[in-house]
A and B are shown apart, each in its own frame.
Chain A
Amino acid sequence: MHRRTAIRNLALIIGGAALLPACMQEKGKATVALKNVDINAEQETLVGDIAETIIPKTNTPGAKDLDLHLFVLKMLDDCYKKEEQQSFMTGMAQFTDAVKKKYNKTFADLPVKQREEMLLGIEADKDPKSTALPKELKTFYGIIKGQTVNGYTNSKYFMTKQVVYELVPGRYNARFPYKQKQSA
């Protein structure tokens, strides 16, 4: 399988917290330097709020603690085709409108429960033929979801504190006992 396809399909192989400089925040502009997509501060906040809803701060770090929203934007800027980037921007506007229509509020003003409800509603619309939601909106959310999880599971935090990554395993046991845990 081609590397890129593998990443898209599994979404758990790579990713992580972007090592990005914490730039001085100029009013109206995003904090992350992007070459191909034009994201303003408000849009960056929206991406951040969605990422934080996906991976919230609990007793462990959340998306914003790990700058995952900046990673999402970095990946959007560097690793997607122009058409996907355009869909992302169109979908972002559609998302904003859909939130407004449903709750008569901005996403930022929604309580966590309604934020989750909004995102789960998009995830529930799985059928590619469904026209319940515009396809750009689903692309927009799909990129944020995929890259947030990608960034999270491959962040230094996750790979050193949650599921430890071994750079040098030093061993191969071909026959190793395994007991399937009961899922919580």
Chain B
Amino acid sequence: MANLNIDNVKDRTFDAIVIGSGMSGGWAAKELTDKGLKTLILERGRDVKHNIDYPTTNMYPWEFEHRGEMPMAVQEANPIVNRCYAFGEDAAHFFVKDNDHPYVQEKPFDWIRGYQVGGKSLLWARQTQRWSDFDFEGPARDGFAVDWPIRYKDIAPWYSYVEKFAGISGNKDGLAELPDGEFLPAFPLNTVETYFSEHVKNKYSNRHVISARCAHLSKPNQIHLDQGRVQCQKRTLCQRGCPFGGYFSANASTIPWALKSGHATLRPFSVVQEVIYDEKLGKATGVRVIDTNTKEAIEYFAKIIFVNAAALNTNLVLLNSTSNRFPNGLGNDSGVLGKYVAFHNYSAHINAEYDGFKEWTTDGRNPAGGGYIPRFRNVYKQETDFLRGYASGFSAYRYQQRPWDGVGSSLKDNLVKDDLSGWKVGSHMMGETIPKESNYVALDKTLKDQWGIPQLKISVDYDDNDEKMKKDYIEQLTEMFTTAGFTNIKASSDHRAPGLDIHEMGGARMGNDPKTSILNKWNQMHAVKNVFVTDGASMTSTSCQNPSLTYMAFTARAADYAVGEMKKGNI
């Protein structure tokens, strides 16, 4: 930390501070520096430089000591993160280990975290579906949470804005429930996915199976080449970090872009203890961080503060930012801070087989993962005994059958056979959950982390609505599979804890009324006008679409507003 003269307040003063360098923090940094603001990016973990810090990215399977499997000692020491599908020998270094950063589970919650520059944007599943007015009007129509203070028309241009830069592949499907965007060519559905898509279209007027839209450069534009990214090479080893920048991550895209501007300072190993509030000025003046190497507390100052620490850690930072004016957490006049946390219900799956199209297979790999079925339940009106609905993944595949019974030279011969299985099909549920006051996070009263910051206590659970919705998913998909002629249909429910979906949202929700929400329609704190929250914490409801694209759009929109307000002298 040679260059930081911590005794000099001027050196610790910036135009803007961004807390967090992941999916949304990277966007805040890019937008604020693009507009010329001198910006400090704070990251609690280590730096992960694009390419340089992807140690496994070009490794062959045989180069992994255990061929990808996590040693039992690591699995047993990390029961939480070990439940994440991407926690393998090739990506474990990008995940927080259970014991390094403990939290309190008042109810079981698998909190999956990535503490490094880029955060979980290195690890995400890269699904990027827009939300629509069926989502933004949901709480008002169905009478839960509070009304979103925005509508689709407010966010639509910002979806376009971030999509062009991030690079989203997809088809213009013309569906009201899943608005089209600025797309690079889609990764096509395979033979059986196409068959199922046509079957569903013919049988149900309101159900669609489309190519999943994903943040991959199927055909890069100049703006992507300018970022140093090139075409996706269909490796599907994304969780290792991509040497081509083939998918969008903060590491490959927004963070290096912000740094290239010359206006950004990136400070890793800086865990934010609190946002500093000045009662005389009536606004936040900066943040206090703890250098995780030296344990030293350092204050940084800025006119604008963006809190993008990832949904639950953003709640933690705000709850821990107390003052006489805000004894219960920054901007928490309403008392709702930390409450109305929700997530996505991923706990049901269905698998089957299809005895046909044996003359067709696929070649290479599909980074989009296959098909996506937008929500078809309760879209235009309430029609079931549960609120809201679910999207579904859908994919079809064949695998190489290499019978490994027996021993000796006949076994060796079997192992090189390239006979393919018949087609297998699978789907997983992505259900919207209802934000409730009783699903909350709070600071633990006694337990602290290694820097003396209170540990987060998480109390989030499923409810009856989730169970009814899951039952419906299984019934409806079973019917769709059956009528498509799929056989050996097996539905399963895995009873996973909330959190493993890695789509936790809320706690510092947006709303029109300061009495019932933390943020206004610009992701700006009602009570502290120079503080903005644009990550998952700001979400009023969860939709059932993957949320990252929406965080990006909200972030770019809020940054534009914040800089405008700053220039007008309003903040």
Contacts and interface: CB of A to CB of B under 8 A. Distances in A.
B61 A58 contact: no
Given A54-B407, A119-B407, A183-B419, A172 B70 contact: no
Interface footprint category on A: 35 or more
Nearest to B236: A169
A180 B423 CA distance: 13
Interface stretch (B22-30, B363-371, B517-525): B363-371
B190 A169 contact: no
A60 interface: yes
B358 interface: yes
A40 interface: no
A74 B66 CA distance: 8
A65 interface: no
Contacts of B85: 2-3
Interface stretch (B134-142, B289-297, B410-418, B480-488): B410-418
Given A163-B418, A172-B367, A178-B361, A79 B412 contact: no
A152 B61 CA distance: 12
Contacts of B60: 156, 159, 165, 167
Interface stretch (A6-14, A98-106, A131-139): A6-14
A141 B189 CA distance: 42
A120 interface: yes
Interface string A3-47: 110010001111111110000000000000000000000000000
A178 B392 CA distance: 28
Contacts of A12: 400, 402, 404, 415
Interface stretch (B71-79, B118-126, B151-159, B274-282): B71-79
B69 A80 contact: no
B415 A153 contact: yes
Nearest to B366: A172
B88 A156 contact: no
B204 interface: no
Contact of B415 (A16, A56, A152, A183): A152
B233 A123 contact: no
Contacts of B70: 3-4, 79
Interface string A105-133: 00000001000100110010000000000
B67 A172 contact: no
B63, B67, B365, B413 — which one has the most chain A CB atoms within 10 A of its CB? B67
B485 to A, nearest CB: 19
A183 B417 contact: yes
Interface in A147-184: 149-156, 158-159, 162-163, 165, 167-181, 183-184
Nearest to B405: A123
B409 interface: yes
A178 B67 CA distance: 29
Nearest to B186: A174
Contacts of B144: none
A150 B420 CA distance: 19
Given A172-B366, A175-B191, A180 B419 contact: yes
Contacts of A58: 409, 412
B451 interface: no
B359 A78 contact: no
A116 B67 contact: no
A178 B420 contact: yes
A72 to B, nearest CB: 12
A60 B190 CA distance: 36
Contact of A7 (B69, B193, B404): B69
Contacts of B66: 14, 74-75, 78-79
Contacts of B87: 3
A2 B419 CA distance: 25
Contact of A179 (B83, B359, B405, B415): B359
Contacts of B416: 162-163
B235 interface: yes
Nearest to B415: A153
Contact of A169 (B58, B72, B234, B402): B234
A14 B68 contact: yes
Nearest to A146: B404
B362 A169 contact: no
A170 B364 contact: yes
Given A78-B71, A79-B69, A174 B61 contact: no
Nearest to A118: B407
Contacts of B191: 174-175
B61 A16 contact: yes
A43 to B, nearest CB: 20
B365 A169 contact: yes
B514 interface: no
B419 A120 contact: no
A96 interface: no
Interface in B186-236: 187-191, 193-194, 233-235
Nearest to A1: B85
23 contacts: A3-B85, A12-B415, A14-B64, A16-B67, A55-B412, A58-B412, A78-B65, A79-B66, A145-B404, A149-B411, A152-B415, A154-B61, A156-B62, A165-B61, A172-B234, A174-B366, A175-B191, A175-B360, A177-B359, A178-B359, A178-B360, A181-B417, A183-B417
Given A174-B189, A175-B194, 14 more contacts: A2-B85, A74-B66, A151-B67, A156-B60, A158-B415, A159-B61, A167-B58, A169-B234, A174-B190, A176-B362, A176-B363, A177-B359, A178-B358, A178-B361
10 nearest A-B residue pairs (beta carbon): A16-B62, A14-B67, A176-B363, A171-B364, A178-B361, A173-B363, A174-B188, A172-B364, A14-B68, A78-B71
